Each structure stands twice: as structure tokens, then as C-alpha cells.
Amino acid sequence: MAEEQEKKQPEKPELKDMSAICPIGEVLVIAEHILGDLQPVTLELLGAGRILADKMGQPLLCLVMGHELGDMPQRLLDHGADRVYVADHPELKNYRTLPYRRVVCDFLESLPSQPHTCLLGSTTTGRDLAPRIAAHFDTGLTADTTELDIGPYEHTSKVDPSKIGLYPNCLYAIRPSFGESLKARILGPWKNPQMATTRPGVMVPLPRESRKGEIINIPVNLQETDHRLTVKEIVREVAKGVNLTEADVIVAGGYGLGTQDGFNMLQELAGCFENSAVGASRKVVDLGWIPYQNQVGQTGKTVRPKLYIACGISGAIQHRVGMSKSSLIIAINKDPDAPIFKFAHHGIVGDCYQIIPEMIKQFKQAQSTSGVKEVVGTH
Amino acid sequence: MASGYKIIVMVKQVPDTGSKAGLNPDGTIDRARAKRMLNPFDKFALQAALHTKKMYGGSVTAISMGPPPAVEILLEALEHGVDRGFLLSDRRLAASDTLATAYALYKTIQYVGDFDIIFCGLQTTDGDTAQVGPQLAERLNLPQVTYCEDFSVQNGEVHARRIIEGGHQTVIAKPPLLVTIANSYHPLEYKSFRGAWRVQQLQRKQEELAQYIKTVTLDDVGADPERCGLKGSPTIVAKTEKVGELGGSCSIHEGKAVDELVKEVITGCNVKEFLAAGKK
Ligand SMILES: Cc1cc2nc3c(=O)[nH]c(=O)nc-3n(C[C@H](O)[C@H](O)[C@H](O)COP(=O)(O)OP(=O)(O)OC[C@H]3O[C@@H](n4cnc5c(N)ncnc54)[C@H](O)[C@@H]3O)c2cc1C
Ligand SMILES: Cc1cc2nc3c(=O)[nH]c(=O)nc-3n(C[C@H](O)[C@H](O)[C@H](O)COP(=O)(O)OP(=O)(O)OC[C@H]3O[C@@H](n4cnc5c(N)ncnc54)[C@H](O)[C@@H]3O)c2cc1C
């Protein structure tokens, strides 16, 4: 019976217009930098935020906290923000949860109305800060999104009848889940700001163009309890020497190599290729098998070579985000269920210590047959 | 106990995604059929809690929120040397998002009592948000250290190393505080024979076990049901969609002689293009 009625009334006139609950509004991006180094994810968020703001015909705001930020506010304008709010204070020089949390909460509370959307990077900083802001304002937060959009939502669940209705402008926060096999669209249409953290390396930044906009300084009122934690030291290992990001071919090793010596074999394999380099997972960098410069992944380098050979690497999400855009990925792993086989192009199930020497052998053979002409030519 | 730390460790039971049982055809988890396990990340938190107790004295309380079978992971924690456990279990908690979860856990912690350090896992393998720890810290008005991979106490101050993009940082804070432990922390030690035996004995006498593991409801901990479950959750999962595995399909090469496998891959793609010119 109920079903038939619904068929006759495809318009569903009973759905109330709920646009007053979460009205359209600005999009706010919270900027991130480490030791004065603006993080690429911030520019990516500005690119994504620009699209959302334009859809709603609203301004794109950016909040940056720090000390002596130089031309950073202008750069944020140049990459798409209409208004940049600057909180400058010596105590904000380096990220700490509580002082940054204080500034963001005070800032949002000072606004006449809440932004529609608030975005942070899905980094060790963004994922540290965003949940605190969301909890403070009792608003929804979607983790680690890879797609963002604005669209309508019809809420028909009868659990809370007061919520039934049509919400015309919701933030669609889309995130991979269950080992990336599903995409979940998460909504939080009951309250602004609708918050999300976004995975680095996914959104596309706008090119830097000289753009006009407003730069506004905002007050910083830290309290004693904001200083309960101090930063003793920050170690940022800036990569030198190895040009991982420019290599055409990367041969990367993980914990499956078993020992540090395994990297000698990888070096030899890399040596078979033109413009090649050796990469690694964080686990083996932490073990001291290979320097930090060689680390690929969320907290290492993002690389995009033509060929990536992963040896004894399980394919954890933090590793994957640094290399999944490689044109061709070959994975060697002895576990047929290793996650890396879900996104590599070719997977060899086997022991590195059998496969790699055989690869080196076959590549060398291929070289000596195809390289004959050049040998003659160069002599 | 006059000295030492009152330590709390937060543990969650998750579906065992490693086992194929309990997966629906569309890729979602059938929670009724799926095997269950202790969230793998929480093992690192458990290790941090037990190690801190071993080094500096004190007691460890494990807290979990979940349906009745979640008592299994509290038993497991007990076997590893945790002193007692609390399970918050209530139908009204169904469909809680991270905010509602953090609220319910916050009320449970207040009910359990005083503490110095709360350890959480970095994230779970099901919701995978890494949000509950910091949201709990916000509710409790605590400083936090997330992504922690090394932890010690010196002269009453916590020294913790946390992962950051491009390296790590060391931070110092006095308890009380909340710490989320990353998977680069030390792995959980095997449970002792004594621990396992003790729990086995306890399970024979339910009344005695109840002294160590207590199941509580929203009413017990004084939580407002309006702020829990679907009602208290600002987010909803509106839609899920199955996606082809990332990066398309992987051709798997296996079960052949090594030279065959390698030849197959080399001929299967254009690897040779990238080879350096041959040796002189
Ligand atoms: C905040 C944060 C940031 C992180 N950043 C990064 C990052 O930037 N980069 C990164 O890589 N990780 C990062 N990680 C760590 C990441 O989660 C994984 O722990 C790490 O990538 C695992 O490294 P692995 O694959 O070498 O080791 P494991 O996960 O231990 O995998 C080893 C693999 O080798 C296979 N294997 C074993 N023996 C053999 C053999 N003989 N032959 C072939 N295969 C074999 C096994 O089957 C297994 O799949 C980060 C983690 C966190 C929490
Ligand atoms: C596919 C999917 C996507 C989701 N996405 C979101 C989202 O984007 N935003 C959102 O708000 N909710 C989301 N949820 C809901 C969320 O998973 C639940 O709220 C869950 O109760 C807690 O989140 P988590 O598993 O991500 O925990 P995390 O925040 O990843 O857990 C971190 C740590 O907190 C502690 N902890 C977490 N839960 C418990 C517990 N029940 N008992 C004891 N300790 C605990 C543990 O120490 C754990 O290691 C999603 C759920 C699903 C299934």
C-alpha cells in the first residue's frame, strides 16, 4: 500500500525544505606549514575549496596561523583564496594542538555566521587538529576524503521525524573505506561548518596567479592552559642527494627484504635502468636500513616515476599515497593477499631473493642483446 | 597504590577483515557473521600502557564500547596483564559516529574515575578515522600527543616522539594527557602463561570475573542518550558504492618457475623501454 502511494507521488511533496538549517556560506581552508614550509595539501585544498565556493557563489576563506609568515598570506590569495585571515604570534610559530585549537575556535566564534564547509589536510597535523574543532562545535567531521562536492540530500529516516526533509546544499564528503574497496559518501547536513580532512596529493591546486584579495590580521588570545605541552625538537630530514622525485624508475624495498643487505640487490636492479633510484618504506627507514631521503609515502616523498618496482612492501595506505600515481607498478611479495596486489599493475607472488636476482639476470641479457649497436657506436 | 600512574587504555573490537567470512557480496561487512578481533592498532596502545605500568608502576584499566561480544577483547587485555576492564554496552549506542562515540567514552571514563594517562590506538581498521582519540581529549580538556611512536616518563614529565610529515618531533607534557600510539611503536608482547591461566580460572567463576570486568550502560555512566547513537551523531553514511580496486586490475603471476614468472612480467609490460644501454 505505502509503496503504491509513493509511485503515484513521485514528487514527494511531504519533504520539507530544510535549507535554513545549513544555509550556503563560505568555504574555509585551514592552512598548514612545517617550519615555514607551506604544505602542498593546503594549495590542493584551496583548489578544491574554490570549486565548492563557486558552486555556492560564496567566497573562499583561508586561515593561516604562525609567526613571521612573509609572503605566505599573499601566496594563499594567489592560489585561490578571496580572504586570508592571519594569526601571527611567536607561540604559533610551530604547530601545537592547543594554541592552534584556541585560535581556530575563537576565530569561528567571532564570525557572524559559520562557514558552510571547513577543510583541513588529512596529515598528522590536520588529523590532530580537526577532531578537536569538530568536538568543540559538536559538528560532523569526515576523515580522509578523496572527493568533495555540494549537492542535495533527502532525509527520510524516521528515527528523528523532526529531521525529515530535503537538504539542498550538503557537503558530500567521499572517502574510501574497507581497504579502499568501497566509497562512502558521508554527510553532516545538520550543522555548519561541515568539516572534512582531505588526503594529500588528490585534489588539484590552481596555478599561482597574481590575484587580489583581502589579508586580515586576527587577534590571538592564548591562555595558560594552552601551554601544557611544549615542543622540544623538530627533526625534518630534508632530502638531498637522491633525486627520487625525478627518477624515471624507482626500485623500492620494504621490511620483506629481511635485512639491510637486501638493498645491495635493489641497487644492482636499479642499476639496470636509465635515470633510476632506490626507494623505501618508512618501516625500513625507521630501522635504519636506509636513509630517510629514500622514503616514499605520506611522510616521505610523493613520486610519480614511469616504473615503480616494490620489493617486500606490503602496500600500507601511507606508502601507497606516495607512489600510486606511478605509470607502471610491479610488486614482488610472497604473500598473495598483500594489499599492494590490489593496486599494482603486475604482481609477482614470490620471494624477493629468488625473483630479483632472476630479474637482474634477464635484464642484463636484454641489455647485452639490444645494446650491441651502441657498443659498436661508442667505441 | 601510593605511587605510579593510573593508566587507561581504549580498545575496540573490529571485524576481522583478514578472514573472508562475513563479507557481503557488495564488499560491506556482515557484522553478525564476521569474525571479531581486537583492533590491531590497539595492541600498540595496550603495549604502551603495560610498558608504562611496568616501568613506573601503577594500574591499567581497559575501556571498550561495543556490543556484548566485545567483552572478548577485555578478557584478552586481562590476559596481557591489564588490571580491570569496563565495557559500555547499550542498544542506544547503535550507529554512533566518532563524535557520539567520543561523548559516550568520555562519560565512561568519568564514571571509571581518576586517571593520569589515556592511551588510544592511532585508528581502527573499520571506521579508520583516527578521530576518537582527539575528540575524547577535547571532551576531557586534555593535551594530546597523536601519532606517538616513542614514549617515556622523565622526572614526572612525559617525553613523546610523534610522526610528522617529513620527519618527527619530540614533545614534553605533564600528565594528565591523552596519547594515540602509532603502529611504529613496539609490538605487543606475548601474553604470559600465568596471565592466560588466571583468566581461564576466572572464567569458571562468573561472580569473580565480574570483579574484574564490568559491563555498564548509558544510565550507569550518566550519559545523555540524546547525544549517543544515530541521534547524537552529526554525520551519516548516506551512500556506499563499490569501486574497482584502485589502479585497475593487477595481473598476478604465480605458481611457476622463477625464470618463467620474470619472463612473463617482462614480456607483459614495457619494462625494457627503461633499461639502460648495455655494458661495453
Ligand atoms: C602517520 C604515519 C605515516 C606513515 N608514513 C609512511 C610513509 O611515508 N611511507 C611508508 O612506507 N610508510 C609509512 N607509514 C608506515 C606504514 O603504515 C607501514 O607500516 C609501512 O609502510 C610498512 O612497511 P613495509 O611494507 O616495508 O613493511 P610490512 O608492512 O611489514 O610488509 C612487509 C611485506 O613484505 C612481504 N615479505 C616478507 N618477506 C618477503 C620475501 N622474502 N619476499 C617478498 N616479500 C616478502 C610480506 O608479505 C609483507 O607484505 C606511516 C605510518 C603512519 C602511522
Ligand atoms: C565506512 C565507515 C566510514 C566512517 N566514516 C566516518 C567519518 O568520516 N566520520 C565519523 O565521525 N564517523 C565515521 N564513521 C563512524 C565511526 O567509524 C564510528 O563512530 C566508530 O564508533 C569510531 O570511529 P573509528 O572506528 O573510526 O575509531 P578511530 O577514531 O579510528 O579510533 C581511534 C582509537 O579510539 C579508540 N576507540 C575508538 N572506538 C572505540 C570504542 N568503540 N571503544 C573503545 N575505544 C575506541 C581506540 O583506542 C581506537 O584505536 C564511519 C564508519 C564506517 C563504517
- In this prediction, residue A293 has a pLDDT band, given cuts at 50, 70 and 90, of confident
- Amino acid at position B130, single letter: A
What is the per-residue pLDDT for B22? 59
What is the per-residue pLDDT for B2? 43
CB B135 within 8 A of CB B109: no
Mean pLDDT of B240-266: 81
The residue that leads in pLDDT, B9 or B265, is B9
Question: Under DSSP, is residue A62 helix (H, G, I), strand (E, B) or coil?
Answer: strand
What residue ranges do the domains of chain B occupy? 5-227
* Topology of domain A244-377, CATH: Rossmann fold (3.40.50)
- pLDDT tens by residue, A102-154: 999 999 999 999 999 999 999 999 999 999 999 999 999 999 999 999 999 99
- pLDDT tens by residue, A207-238: 999 999 999 999 999 999 999 999 999 887 65
Pairwise CA distance, residues A238 & A222, whole Å: 31
Task: Please tell me which of A33-42, A223-232, B194-203 the model is most confident about, judged by mean pLDDT.
Answer: A223-232
Residues of A in contact with B226 (CB under 8 A): none
For chain A, the average pLDDT equals 90
Task: Decide if A318 touches B, using CB distance below 8 A.
Answer: no
Q: The CATH number of A27-227 is which of 2.60.98.20, 3.40.50.620, 3.10.20.30, 3.40.50.970?
A: 3.40.50.620
In ligand 2, the atom with minimum distance to the C-alpha of B100 is 19
- pLDDT tens by residue, A53-97: 999 999 999 999 999 999 999 999 999 999 999 999 999 999 999
Ligand 1 centroid distance, CA of A280 (Å): 9
Residues whose CB falls within 8 Å of the CB of residue A137, separated by 6 or more in sequence, listed in order: A105, A108, A114, A191, A193
- Within 209-268 of B, beta carbons closer than 8 Å to A belong to 230-231, 233-243, 245-248, 250-255, 258-259, 261-263, 265-266, 268
Beta-strand ranges (E) seen in chain B are: 5-10, 13-15, 36-38, 58-65, 84-88, 117-121, 144-154, 157-164, 167-173, 177-181, 213-216, 236-242, 251-253
Whether this model's pTM surpasses 0.90: no
CB contact under 8 A, B254 and A336: yes
Ligand 1 proximity of B119 Cβ (cutoff 6 Å):
no
In ligand 2, the atom with minimum distance to the C-alpha of A131 is 11
User: What are the distances in angstroms from CA A347 to CA A7, B82, B102, B271?
Assistant: 50, 42, 41, 14
Ligand whose nearest atom lies closest to the CA of A198: 2
Nearest CA to ligand 2 atom 13: B97
- pLDDT tens by residue, A349-378: 999 999 999 999 999 888 877 644 443 333
Domain with CATH 3.40.50.620 in chain A: 27-227
Give me the percent of chain A exceeding a pLDDT of 70: 92
- pLDDT tens by residue, B134-189: 999 999 999 999 999 999 999 999 999 999 887 889 999 999 999 999 988 999 99
> Which of B154, B262, B270, B279 to mutate: most A Cβ within 10 Å?
B262
CB contact under 8 A, A131 and B128: no
In ligand 2, the atom with minimum distance to the C-alpha of B41 is 49
Ligand 1 proximity of A123 Cβ (cutoff 6 Å):
no
Task: Please tell me which of A287-296, B177-186, B234-243 the model is most confident about, judged by mean pLDDT.
Answer: B177-186
Q: For cell 581552508, what's the residue?
A: A29
Task: Decide if B150 touches A, using CB distance below 8 A.
Answer: no
Q: The CATH number of B5-227 is which of 3.40.1280.10, 3.30.428.10, 3.40.50.620, 2.60.40.1580?
A: 3.40.50.620
Domain with CATH 3.40.50.1220 in chain A: 244-377
For chain B, the average pLDDT equals 90
Nearest residue to B96 (alpha-carbon basis) of B108, B85, B86:
B108
Residue B250 has pLDDT above 80, yes or no: yes
Pairwise CA distance, residues B266 & A59, whole Å: 52
Other C-beta atoms lying within 10 Å of the C-beta of residue A259: 10
CB contact under 8 A, A143 and B129: yes
Tell me the ipTM for this assembly.
0.90
- In this prediction, residue A1 has a pLDDT band, given cuts at 50, 70 and 90, of very low
Of A5-14, A300-309, B239-248, the poorest mean pLDDT is in A5-14
CB contact under 8 A, A229 and B177: yes
Pairwise CA distance, residues A166 & A326, whole Å: 42
Ligand 1 centroid distance, CA of A315 (Å): 6
Pairwise CA distance, residues A18 & A164, whole Å: 9
Ligand 1 centroid distance, CA of A342 (Å): 15
